[in-house]
Chain A
Amino acid sequence: MADPTIPAPVPGAAAAPGPSAAPALPTAAEAAHPYAGFLKNNLREYGMLMSLVVIMGLFQYLTGGTLLEPLNLTNLVLQNSYIVIMALGMLLVIVAGHIDLSVGSVVGFIGALAAVLMVQYDWHFVPATIVCLLGGALIGAAQGWFVAFFRIPSFIVTLAGMLVFKGLSLALLQGQSVGPFPPTFQLLSSGFIPDWLNGETLRTTSLLAGILVAFVLIVAKLRERANQSRHGMESEPYPFFIGKNLVFVAIIVAFSWKLASYKGLPNVLIIMTLLMLFYDFVTTRTTVGRRIYAMGGNEKAARLSGVKTQWLSFYTFVNMGVLAAVAGLVFAARLNTATPKAGTGFELDVIAACFIGGASASGGVGKVLGAVIGAFVMGVMNNGMSILGIGIDYQQVIKGLVLLAAVFVDVYNKSKS
């Protein structure tokens, strides 16, 4: 592993004071609008969020306000949770330079496994869940083994996996639907956090939880900024910092207010949020995350810098397998039954979410929050178009075009700069 020592401070650097001895001269345009350059550099990040807001606004208008009704908002979360959860893992796989086509089949297979264990063998949901998660890890490990150590293209390995696990779930269920699940297990998808404060029309606990999250977010961001400026790091301009975080806080509070006025925060939202924060942290702050990006960007350079690229590829697939298992459990609990057709086509939504969210098909580029936003863009469109009564036929056409347009804009902007 890398040597943890920091070399003695270099004499030249000690002599050079302040953040920059040779600052780049700002161009005339940048000097005139000090924030223009920053905005241009970060347009992608804000652009993603903006496009989600625009799409939500559009459907809110087209559906005459139905989209953001508390009931529908709750449904939106429940419907998209499993896609979001898998998008977290898929993002890592794509950043590492691979793809996983098998996740839809794995969702179906794990759902079937859970149903067989809990319904046919009467297992308690805790051991059954553990077995299912281990099963997911094993599936990921098996596929990752071929990809990482034998250099078989992931497209082929997981295409095979897609067929294998689709077949295995059929075999496991013997072609039948198996259900219903025990009520305690159903709570995974249909439950909401309990309301200890007994709000009359408003689930006060849920609202307070939302406000708490917003508060924690502010504190974390302020600390991060303080740390950055302590080391002389330039960060985003203050107005942007304030503005961006105020918008985030407003969204979180408004969102939890809406949900609180229905049944409160769904359990699965809590799981999803925790996973999201975890993976955002892993990708942006840890050495493992950094190495995955380096590997996806240039595998040879990463390997020659001491990154264990084969093991890293392997682990991204194990991770994907576990997350697909989580999604499988969530989905099974939501349907309250395991059917042989469960999970069909999910891989496409998940992969599309990552690419809409700005991941690059050649690896090395992509963000967790982008993939989550991408998943919600797809979700809002699904939901909104269903409310509008657009048939499944044209829904697919529109979704396909949106995917193409999102990636086109991305690639076009990149080639222009």
Chain B
Amino acid sequence: MTLLEMRSITKRFHGVTALSDVNLAVQAGEIHAVVGENGAGKSTLMKVLSGVYPHGEFEGAIHFEGSERQFRGITDSEHAGIIIIHQELALVPLLSIAENIFLGNEPSRHGVIDWFAAYAKTKELLRKVGLNERPSTLITDIGVGKQQLVEIAKALSKEVKLLILDEPTASLNETDSDALLALLLDLKAQGISCILISHKLNEISKVADTITVIRDGSTVRSFDCRTDTVSEDQVIQAMVGRQLADRYPKRTPQIGETVFEIADWRVHHPEHADRLVIKGVNLHARRGEIVGIAGLMGAGRTELAMSVFGKSYGRKISGQVKLNGREVDVSTIQKAIAAGLAYVTEDRKGYGLVLDNDIQRNITLANLGGVSSGSVIDDGREYKVANDYRHKLRIRCASVFQQVVNLSGGNQQKVVLAKWLFANPEVLILDEPTRGIDVGAKFEIYTLMAELAAAGKCVVMISSEMPELLGMCDRIYVMNEGRFVGEFDREEASQEKIMRSIVTAGAA
């Protein structure tokens, strides 16, 4: 019996198509895995299903338990029995397990909460999910694995029929992951269906009955694991199989001597000091080279880059950074900039730009000394610098006095790049430089990267989009869970190889 059917779902954001004609059918009592690369559209699809994007904001129809549903919000879908558990858990840390489970849904009479009922019911739910904790324990006092179970208990309290889990094991260790997967099988036996979004193919092959692959906003293939034997190779191919068109500028790399080296880099988590986030990374990059760092979200790539750039992430950092063979001090951002490093953040609104300021002020911020004498800013010089970069990077704007908040994503990214180009670094670390920008602007940014490399700079590019890494990089490191688990030259690199080193590292 078909429990859920999503028919020809199409979703557009301001003219950009995120989902195009996606079909998904989930049978009653099955575990249905949805896989795809970052940005393939999995999360968007789940937001359509759970009513985050209400009926009318997308095309297509959702049929659940045999009738068409028009969810206006997440309350509607929960009422129908569809419950989503996001990757970032939605628990209140300083409330107890029982309080969290019944948050917004408290058993009460005339507005007075019946705590006895809540605690009794919580005990029962915790037994169901196999969590041996007291209902009054605070969320902050239990680990992430147990928090995940609390989320599931919360879903069970709402009479769930279809449970959606978004990367549930991403932050769990192996024992917790296995326990969670066992619980899913247990729930299946009780008749609760489940959509599992995951990158970890080894886990999926353990529990999934059906696998649907999404790529570039469309469903490309469905595998039925009950009737066929499905190999990981088949799934990986379906995930990445796409033609590399002429989307990258031609370049003939002229690679010189080693400029930038990181040796045995170790970083601990800023809040949990005993947790090692970067576990001994070695990296080198040569003059004129574009080096890529591939990996999934949460692999530790941003953490690596930021910890190198003036220790702006983490603590108890150890290891060496060398520029041109000499060890350099990068313990503060000022020193890192002075040494010749620049880091272009993945989060341009949060970490890259002062949104209320104009383009000119953003461009000169990292090198105010370059437009001032003494510490007095020369307005004219500053304007000239900003205008030069505006033309060079083709920042589309009315004037450099326009606030950056009003620019498109691609133009904002160019402003961030201009800021760091003006600081005149030797090594440029670009973190997801093309995230959320359109194809045209992407090409311009690729071209700029190629020019920088040709001018003898060293470019390190972190990206979750494998095609762009393959299209731009001379060498690619693959990172997973705080380690480099693979390194490929331009000739030998392929999406399959990269994906394989990630998924096999996860299994090992």
Q: A residues bordering B, Cβ < 8 Å?
A: 1-7, 9-10, 12-13, 16, 19-24, 224, 227-228, 230-234, 285-288, 290-291, 293-294, 297-298, 300-308, 364-365
Tell which of B312, B365, B422 has the most Cβ of chain A within 10 Å. Answer: B365
Known contacts A231-B380, A297-B354; is A304 also within 8 Å of B333 by CB? yes
A297 to B383, CA, bound (A): 20
A10 to chain B, nearest CB (A): 4
Q: Which of A5, A232, A233, A364 contacts B424 (CB 8 A)?
A: A5
Are A13 and B370 interface neighbours, CB within 8 A?
no
Are B354 and A308 interface neighbours, CB within 8 A?
no
B353 at the interface (CB under 8 A from A): yes
B54 at the interface (CB under 8 A from A): no
A115 to B364, CA, bound (A): 48
23 A-B Cβ contacts within 8 A?
A2-B423, A3-B424, A5-B424, A7-B424, A10-B388, A12-B392, A19-B387, A224-B379, A227-B379, A285-B377, A287-B368, A290-B377, A291-B368, A293-B357, A297-B354, A298-B355, A301-B354, A303-B312, A304-B312, A304-B343, A304-B352, A305-B419, A306-B334
Chain A residue nearest to B348 in the complex (CB): A301
Are A298 and B334 interface neighbours, CB within 8 A?
no
Q: Which residues from A are CB-within-8-Å of B396?
A: 22
A303 to B388, CA, bound (A): 25
- Report whether over half of chain A's contact residues are helix, strand or loop; otherwise say mixed: loop
Are A297 and B357 interface neighbours, CB within 8 A?
yes
Are B398 and A300 interface neighbours, CB within 8 A?
no
Q: B residues bordering A, Cβ < 8 Å?
A: 309-310, 312, 333-334, 337-338, 343, 345, 350-357, 361, 364-372, 375-377, 379-381, 383-385, 387-389, 391-392, 394, 396-399, 419, 421-424
Q: Which residues from B are CB-within-8-Å of A224?
A: 379
A22 to B392, CA, bound (A): 12
Chain A residue nearest to B420 in the complex (CB): A305
Q: Which residues from B are CB-within-8-Å of A7?
A: 421-422, 424
Are A301 and B368 interface neighbours, CB within 8 A?
no
Q: Which residues from A are CB-within-8-Å of B310?
A: 306
Q: Which residues from B are CB-within-8-Å of A227?
A: 379-380
Known contacts A228-B379, A307-B365; is A1 also within 8 Å of B338 by CB? yes
Q: Which residues from A are CB-within-8-Å of B356?
A: 297, 364-365
A294 to chain B, nearest CB (A): 5
Are B376 and A232 interface neighbours, CB within 8 A?
no
Are B388 and A13 interface neighbours, CB within 8 A?
yes
Are B366 and A2 interface neighbours, CB within 8 A?
yes
**Sample of 14 more A-B contacts, CB < 8 Å, known A2-B369, A234-B399, A306-B310:** A2-B423, A7-B422, A10-B389, A24-B398, A231-B379, A233-B379, A287-B372, A287-B376, A297-B357, A298-B353, A301-B353, A301-B354, A306-B333, A306-B337
Are B391 and A12 interface neighbours, CB within 8 A?
yes
Known contacts A24-B397, A293-B357, A298-B353; is A3 also within 8 Å of B370 by CB? yes
A399 to B41, CA, bound (A): 54
Chain B residue nearest to A230 in the complex (CB): B380
A287 to B391, CA, bound (A): 25
A279 to chain B, nearest CB (A): 14
Chain B residue nearest to A365 in the complex (CB): B356
Q: Which of B338, B351, B377 contacts A301 (CB 8 A)?
A: B351
Are A13 and B392 interface neighbours, CB within 8 A?
yes
Q: Which of A3, A12, A231 contacts B337 (CB 8 A)?
A: A3
Q: Which residues from A are CB-within-8-Å of B350?
A: 298, 300-301
Q: Which residues from B are CB-within-8-Å of A9?
A: 388
Q: Which residues from A are CB-within-8-Å of B351?
A: 298, 300-301, 304
Known contacts A5-B424, A10-B388, A304-B351; is A24 also within 8 Å of B399 by CB? yes
Q: Which of A6, A10, A288, A305 contacts B370 (CB 8 A)?
A: A6
Chain A residue nearest to B402 in the complex (CB): A24
Q: Which of B380, B387, B419 contacts A228 (CB 8 A)?
A: B380
Q: Which of B333, B338, B354, B380 contacts A364 (CB 8 A)?
A: B354
B184 to chain A, nearest CB (A): 38
A293 to B385, CA, bound (A): 20
B411 to chain A, nearest CB (A): 12
- Report whether over half of chain B's contact residues are helix, strand or loop; otherwise say mixed: helix
Chain B residue nearest to A284 in the complex (CB): B377
Q: Which of B334, B419, B424 contacts A308 (CB 8 A)?
A: B334
Q: Which residues from B are CB-within-8-Å of A293?
A: 354, 357, 361
B304 to chain A, nearest CB (A): 15
A380 to chain B, nearest CB (A): 30
Tell which of B345, B354, B375, B387 has the most Cβ of chain A within 10 Å. Answer: B354
Are B369 and A232 interface neighbours, CB within 8 A?
no
Q: Which of B354, B377, B394 contacts A302 (CB 8 A)?
A: B354
B334 to chain A, nearest CB (A): 5
A370 to chain B, nearest CB (A): 15
A10 to B367, CA, bound (A): 17
A4 to B369, CA, bound (A): 5
Q: Which residues from B are CB-within-8-Å of A16?
A: 391
Q: Which residues from B are CB-within-8-Å of A287?
A: 368-369, 372, 375-377
A204 to chain B, nearest CB (A): 35
A365 to B350, CA, bound (A): 18
A1 to chain B, nearest CB (A): 6
Chain A residue nearest to B353 in the complex (CB): A301
A303 to B375, CA, bound (A): 19
Tell which of B309, B312, B391 has the most Cβ of chain A within 10 Å. Answer: B391
Chain B residue nearest to A417 in the complex (CB): B406
Chain B residue nearest to A291 in the complex (CB): B368
A364 to B356, CA, bound (A): 8
Are A306 and B385 interface neighbours, CB within 8 A?
no
Are A21 and B376 interface neighbours, CB within 8 A?
no
Chain A residue nearest to B371 in the complex (CB): A6
A293 to B358, CA, bound (A): 12
A300 to B349, CA, bound (A): 10
A384 to B205, CA, bound (A): 81
Q: Which of A4, A13, A23, A303 contacts B333 (CB 8 A)?
A: A303
B351 to chain A, nearest CB (A): 5
Q: Which residues from A are CB-within-8-Å of B391?
A: 10, 12-13, 16, 21
A285 to B371, CA, bound (A): 11
Are B383 and A4 interface neighbours, CB within 8 A?
no
Chain A residue nearest to B333 in the complex (CB): A306
Are B399 and A20 interface neighbours, CB within 8 A?
yes
B371 to chain A, nearest CB (A): 8
Q: Which residues from B are CB-within-8-Å of A308?
A: 334
A287 to B419, CA, bound (A): 15
B326 to chain A, nearest CB (A): 18
Known contacts A24-B397, A231-B383; is A2 also within 8 Å of B370 by CB? yes
A286 to B382, CA, bound (A): 12
A94 to chain B, nearest CB (A): 14
Q: Which residues from B are CB-within-8-Å of A302?
A: 354, 365
Are A286 and B375 interface neighbours, CB within 8 A?
yes
A342 to chain B, nearest CB (A): 36
A20 to B387, CA, bound (A): 8
Q: Which residues from B are CB-within-8-Å of A304?
A: 309, 312, 333, 343, 345, 351-352
Are B357 and A294 interface neighbours, CB within 8 A?
yes
Known contacts A7-B422, A286-B376; is A231 also within 8 Å of B369 by CB? no
B406 to chain A, nearest CB (A): 10
Q: Which residues from A are CB-within-8-Å of B355?
A: 297-298
B179 to chain A, nearest CB (A): 37
Q: Which of A2, A228, A364 contacts B367 (CB 8 A)?
A: A2
Q: Which residues from A are CB-within-8-Å of B333?
A: 303-306
A12 to B423, CA, bound (A): 18
A42 to chain B, nearest CB (A): 11
Are A3 and B380 interface neighbours, CB within 8 A?
no
Chain B residue nearest to A286 in the complex (CB): B375
Chain A residue nearest to B345 in the complex (CB): A304
A69 to chain B, nearest CB (A): 41
A290 to B381, CA, bound (A): 15
